[in-house]
Amino acid sequence: MFDAVLIEKSDSGQEAGLSRIDTAQLPQGDVLVEVAWSTLNYKDALAITGASPVVRSFSMVPGIDFAGVVAESSHSDFEPGDRVVLNGWGVGERHWGGLAAKARVSGDWLVPLPEGISHRNAMAIGTAGYTAMLCVMALERNGVLPGGGEVVVTGAAGGVGSIATMLLAARGYSVAAVTGRTAETDYLTGLGATIIIDRAEFMQVGRPLAKERWAGAIDVAGGVVLANVLASMRYRGVVAACGLAGGMELPATVAPFILRAVTLVGIDSVMCPKLERLIVWQRLAHEVDMARLEAMTTEVQLGDVIAAAPRFLEGKVRGRILVPINPQLN
């Protein structure tokens, strides 16, 4: 028996609680992992609180990512003792996830943890850092390089935004960090941001085209924020869009695309092919400043995850929230 956060559904709605689970209850999969560390993400908060229909089947163990050690495997790529990390693939939505002491999953979803990254650091990076690197790589592929102009990052004090700011700054980009929490100015400049912008400047529907400013953008907000980012892109600017914290609607026009040749690149971290994931994690192993990463992390015990989840929806989370589960695992 082991501890897990379990979301149940009844006629009166859904409810999350800390439960004792037997290994036999775990869903099918060809690899059993002893989870060392997991995290609490925005999507996990939506699942736990029921604020959005993230969970596709019940009962469900949330947790869209985890790092740990293989305990049992019938998959050709893994054997007991291997260190692994998992992000996405519907885990925590359709398949039991990482907020539990054990997880049984498909080996096709796992990535070997690169040398030099501990389980804890892997989850300090987590899905947020993995998504941020996908965004950085999208900008690079589309010609946005250091020295080519400012890159704006929305939601910069959150998990994806924090690590995106750090990664971009470390590679020599000039980063403008947009946040609704201007009290986080010192935190963001410490990550390498060169300018801090109040999110209020992006919250009103603006003109189809604004003054050209940004060579690149990483947007986690969507909605009117993304529309305003698009309107102020420079000619042939590139926007990597990976989130919807500001809403699903996009009150924009085609003007930035047909008059300034702006490129909008969608970033999906859930079903991203494994080959690209391997590249992402190798780059993260070499490019993340672990000291700065530590400065953006806090820890919440498994038993406190449910109480902590609403903080995401209230916009009170800075950086990354780690959940130690079996932290003694090497």
pLDDT in tens, 266-303: 999 999 999 999 999 999 999 999 888 888 899 999 99
Instruction: Read off the tokens for 225.
Output: 């924020």
pLDDT of residue 280: 97
pLDDT of 105 over the 80 cut = yes
Give yes or no for residue 247 having a pLDDT over 90: no
The percentage of residues in the chain with a pLDDT greater than 70, rounded to a whole number, is: 100
Q: How confident is the model at residue 181 (pLDDT cuts 50, 70, 90)?
A: confident
Structural domain boundaries in the chain: 2-113+296-324, 127-266
Instruction: For the chain, give the percent of residues with pLDDT over 90.
Output: 82
**Contact status, residue 323 vs residue 127, Cβ threshold 8 Å:** no
- Please tell me which residue, 317 or 271, carries the higher pLDDT value: 271
Going by pLDDT thresholds of 50, 70 and 90, the confidence category of residue 196 is very high
Q: What is the pLDDT of residue 303?
A: 93
The encoded tokens of residue 87 equal 């992000």
End-to-end CA distance of the chain: 22
Non-local (6+) Cβ contacts of 20 within 8 A are 1, 2, 3, 4
Task: Say what the pLDDT of residue 83 is.
Answer: 97
What per-residue confidence (pLDDT) applies to 285?
92
CATH number of the structural domain 127-266: 3.40.50.720
pLDDT tens for each residue of 9-19: 887 788 899 99
Strands 83-87 and 111-112: what pairing? antiparallel
Homologous superfamily of 2-113+296-324: Medium-chain alcohol dehydrogenases, catalytic domain (3.90.180.10)
Q: Is the pLDDT of residue 188 over 90?
A: yes
Structure tokens at 84: 């692994």
Tell whether the model's pLDDT for residue 330 goes beyond 80: no
Would you state the pLDDT for residue 87? 95
3-state class (DSSP) for residue 285: helix
Confidence (pTM): 0.91
The 10 Å CB-count burial string (b at 16+, else e) for 179-211 is bbbeebeebbbebbbeebbebeebeeebeebee
Average of per-residue pLDDT values in the chain: 94
Give the lowest-confidence range in 48-57, 63-72, 127-136. 48-57
Supply φ then ψ for residue 31, to 5 degrees: -135, 130
Q: What is the mean pLDDT of residues 324-328?
A: 94
The more confidently predicted of residues 88 and 319 is 88
Residue with more model confidence, 325 or 315: 325
Better-predicted residue by pLDDT, 289 or 175: 175
- Going from the C-alpha of 141 to that of each of 95, 236, 241, 263, 272, the distances in angstroms are 32, 13, 15, 11, 16
pLDDT at 18: 93
Alpha-helix residue ranges (DSSP H) falling in the chain: 42-49, 119-141, 159-170, 185-191, 223-231, 255-259, 274-287, 290-295, 305-308, 310-313
The answer to whether the beta carbons of residues 75 and 25 sit under 8 Å apart is: no
pLDDT digits (tens, 9 = 90+) for 123-147: 999 999 999 999 999 999 999 999 9
Q: Which two tokens stand for residue 243?
A: 């989130």
- Cβ–Cβ contacts within 10 Å for residue 27, how many? 15
CB 276 within 8 A of CB 251: no
**Nearest in space to 68 (alpha carbons), one of 100, 106, 43:** 100
pLDDT band per the 50, 70, 90 thresholds, residue 246: confident
